[in-house]
Amino acid sequence: MTLKLYAHPFSSYCQKVLIALYENDTPFEFRMLAPEDKQAAAELEALWPIRKFPVLVDGGRTVIEASIIIEHLQLHHPGPVRLVPEERDAALDVRFMDRFFDNYVSTPQQKFVFDSLRAAEDRDPHGVAEARAMLETAYRWLDDAMAGRKWAAGGDFSLADCAAAPALFYADWSHPIDPAFANVRAYRRRLLARSSFARAVDEARPYRPLFPLGAPDRD
Ligand SMILES: N[C@@H](CCC(=O)N[C@@H](CS)C(=O)NCC(=O)O)C(=O)O
């Protein structure tokens, strides 16, 4: 049964799932959600009226939310790289770090992007200041958490690293990680060197002009 992923290469949450697919060389069909493709947008809306992506279709089942898609892949299409540990306490650590990156890195990062897309009179400077403060706190906490760690939840590359890679990639573009947070910057570099994420970053390169704050000339 073919897996079909509704996604866009430049989207951070889509990259999160692409990393998981690439880690295990899982075959799938990429259903591109190009902004001008009304048919693809209608298909997405029929599957998930909230219209957030990625969305995975696996036979008769629609799987929504990047973390749940990765859990689904682990359960139904496992490969050599186990992204959620079997041991239940270790799995909790992975899921906690996955929530950390989504809620406290990706969410404030998206605030910068969405705010910059608004008309000047609709901007939310207070919300952006809150997002900046949240990112700064998240970087500081993560810098301590990553001391002595290679990957987010300890020894093995996991779901948490799938979340971390695009989250830190784009967050650093919107609100650069201070050099004082050397562990976070080194972790971001390790993620960029991981072949699954390097591939996702390369595939997204042509879309960099879409970054509304202006993509920096690096990475
Ligand atoms: N909680 C969702 C977030 C997905 C999300 O925010 N996706 C963005 C793309 S990175 C999106 O759908 N943007 C389109 C929109 O907000 O209309 C997940 O984990 O999959």
pLDDT tens column, 49-68 = 999 999 999 999 999 999 99
Per-residue model confidence (pLDDT) at position 1: 59
Phi, psi of 48 (to 5 degrees): -155, 95
Per-residue model confidence (pLDDT) at position 54: 98
Element containing residue 140 per DSSP (H, E) = helix 125-145
Cβ pair 186, 110 in contact under 8 A: no
Which residue is closest in CA terms to ligand 1's atom 17? 52
Ligand 1 proximity of 65 Cβ (cutoff 6 Å): yes
Q: Please state whether beta strands 55-58 and 61-64 pair in parallel, antiparallel, or not at all (unpaired).
A: antiparallel
Ligand 1 proximity of 13 Cβ (cutoff 6 Å): yes
| Residues of the chain predicted below pLDDT 70 | 1
pTM score, two decimals? 0.97
Per-residue model confidence (pLDDT) at position 190: 98
Q: What is the DSSP letter of 154?
A: B
Which ligand 1 atom sits nearest the alpha carbon of residue 110?
A: 6
Q: What percent of the chain has pLDDT over 70?
A: 100
Mutate to test the pocket of ligand 1, among 8, 13, 15 (most ligand atoms within 8 A of CB): 13
Mapped onto helix, strand or coil, the DSSP state of residue 31 is strand
pLDDT tens column, 166-190 = 999 999 999 999 999 999 999 999 9
Mutate to test the pocket of ligand 1, among 18, 52, 162 (most ligand atoms within 8 A of CB): 52
Q: Which two tokens stand for residue 20?
A: 């998981």
Per-residue model confidence (pLDDT) at position 155: 86
Ordered DSSP codes for 45-95: HHH-TT--S-EEEETTEEEESHHHHHHHHHHHS--SS-SS-SSHHHHHHHH
* Chain CA centroid to CA 129, Å: 22
Which ligand 1 atom sits nearest the alpha carbon of residue 69?
A: 20
Per-residue model confidence (pLDDT) at position 154: 83
Cβ pair 201, 169 in contact under 8 A: yes
Per-residue model confidence (pLDDT) at position 194: 98
